[in-house]
């Protein structure tokens, strides 16, 4: 495996991981920000109030994006498998 190929593979893998994790992280951040604003306005400081909506939101996003995530991972895996003969050189 050449250094260029390994560098390209690592770069692609990191970009793939970021693109798959971004919707989930952004959902948790937006819900957390909304709950924090609500808690600041109403002076309610309950820990479970911020956890439960975030958990439900993240699970909902995972379920909605599951077909896209699966398709993206399958395409990435197929591309890696197709590059294996180049890696063996």
Contacts 24+ apart (CB under 8 A), 65-71: 65/23, 65/24, 69/20
- Counted domains in the chain: 1
Contacts 24+ apart (CB under 8 A), 54-57: 54/28, 57/27, 57/28, 57/31
**Residue 64 pLDDT:** 97
pLDDT band (50, 70, 90) for residue 1:
confident
Q: Which residues constitute the domain of residue 59?
A: 3-88
**Residue 59 pLDDT:** 97
Residue 27: CB atoms within 10 Å: 19
Nearest to 71 by CA among 27, 19, 25: 19
pTM: 0.79
């Amino acid at each position: 495996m050449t250094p260029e190929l390994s560098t390209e593979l690592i770069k692609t893998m990191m970009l793939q991981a970021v693109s798959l994790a971004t919707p989930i992280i952004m959902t948790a951040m937006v819900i957390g920000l909304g709950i924090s604003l609500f808690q600041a306005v109403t002076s309610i400081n309950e820990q479970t109030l911020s956890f439960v909506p975030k958990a439900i939101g993240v699970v909902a996003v995972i379920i909605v994006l599951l077909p896209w995530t699966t398709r993206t991972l399958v395409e990435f895996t197929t591309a890696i498998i197709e590059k294996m003969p180049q890696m063996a050189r």
